Structure 1
């Protein structure tokens, strides 16, 4: 698998241009085409964001031309919330940004959480004010031997093959006298040309799963998390329990999520 079709969401917020720049950078890496989908709500055209809202197509098209990329601009249907109105089922990777209170009314409410759960493709969720044009030098794979984390791992293979460092993170692994699940993952990834290492946090008495994960990120100097999305509204439920949605809203590190 490779990413040959990518989709980036467009709105009138301040993060859109940097989000488009990252999507373009990824398309250049993977030789992919890019679709920009305008997910602005009607509120975006009646306040201080109005000028940016009406120029989204112009901005997106200009950036495509500058990068000599093939792409398409589309507008999401504002009257319904059907999955097909966001075009996410017709791509290999979706690029979105976390919601912020200041811009919440001007972006369709399904972005990004609803898309993560319904798209059927991986969604790269960026923190607010993310301004880097590249990512993925060091990746942490959040692993718990579930269907969702397995799906996320395979969806992330195009990234994992290109990065310098991959760490398999497991929190509070169950006792197993036969085989270590992370070690099996490591061997599996090696057959895909991915070298990885294992980071296990066995003692759960004095730290939360999220704190353990971010400790791993700091130690590995990671700039991308790969994780499965669980449950209905609770993301990463099997791995992070009641604190699961914190991962989707973490303030510093992009997350590649699959459901």
Structure 2
């Protein structure tokens, strides 16, 4: 498996350039084509966002050309609720920025959470005000024996394969009389040539899973988290016993999520 088509959402926010730099760098590393989709709402072309919102296509072209990345530019249909079906379903990986109040009303409201639910492909969600474009070398898998976490791990394989270090964080890990869950995961990843370090965190009731994750030694020097997303979109259910929504709103490194 490899990523050949990466899609990055573009808008007039202050986060846009760092998001585009990240996507261009990732596309160059993985040899992928990059599609930039302008998801600015009509309000983005009023006031302080206006100049940046008007230049997203040119910015994509200049940065992609400078890095030798093949790119193309698309504009979302701002009047159609189904616009995302024409773009997100036809990419291998999506890149967005976490929800934040500053962007409210100035980008189409489906980005990023509703797109994540409906796209069927993984999404890398960047922290608000992110400025790091360094190569992804240290990756943390936030693991639980669930379909969502399993999907995320397999969707992240191209990134895991090129990482220098992969850690597995397990909160109150499950096991049975025969096999430990973490050993099974480690053996499976080893079959893909990926060796992992394990950080098992007991649930003592003192910390939530998200708090424990960010307090763990696995997060030292982490460049990315890989995690499963909501079990059911209607209720925005949790991953690892903690809230996916909390993870998407409170983090300091990119998160690759799958639904």
TM-score, normalised via structure 2 length: 0.94
Residue number in structure 1 paired with 2:163: 163
Distance in 2, Cα, partners of 1:218 & 1:236: 25
Distance in 2, Cα, partners of 1:232 & 1:219: 28
Distance in 2, Cα, partners of 1:50 & 1:244: 32
Which has the larger displacement, 187-196 or 220-229?
220-229
User: Offset of 1:51 from its aligned partner?
Assistant: 1.4
TM superposition outliers: structure 1 runs of 4+ over 3 Å: 83-86, 217-220, 233-236
Which has the larger displacement, 214-223 or 139-148?
214-223
Q: Does 1:55 align with 2:55?
A: yes
Distance in 1, Cα, partners of 2:123 & 2:184: 25
Change (3 A) 1:27 1:9: same
Distance in 2, Cα, partners of 1:86 & 1:11: 18
Secondary structure at the counterpart of residue 49 of structure 1: helix
Which has the larger displacement, 165-174 or 20-29?
165-174
Secondary structure at the counterpart of residue 115 of structure 2: helix
Residue number in structure 1 paired with 2:233: 232
User: Structure 1 unaligned runs (5+)?
Assistant: none
User: Offset of 1:249 from its aligned partner?
Assistant: 1.1
Which has the larger displacement, 179-188 or 227-236?
227-236
TM-score, normalised via structure 1 length: 0.94
User: Structure 2 unaligned runs (5+)?
Assistant: none
Instruction: Kindly provide the CA deviation profile for residues 99-148 of structure 1, in whole angstroms up to 9, marking residues without a partner as x.
Output: 22122221111111111111111100000111111242211111111111
Distance in 2, Cα, partners of 1:246 & 1:46: 31
Aligned residues: 258
Residues 86-125 of structure 1: matches in 2 within 5 Å? 87-125=87-125
User: Offset of 1:205 from its aligned partner?
Assistant: 2.4
Whether the 8 Å contact between 1:37 and 1:86 is mirrored in structure 2 is no
Residues 1-259 of structure 1: matches in 2 within 5 Å? 1-82=1-82, 84-85=84-85, 87-216=87-216, 220-230=220-230, 231-232=232-233, 237-241=238-242, 243-259=243-259
Distance in 2, Cα, partners of 1:114 & 1:89: 13
Which has the larger displacement, 122-131 or 208-217?
208-217
Distance in 2, Cα, partners of 1:73 & 1:220: 36
Distance in 1, Cα, partners of 2:54 & 2:221: 39
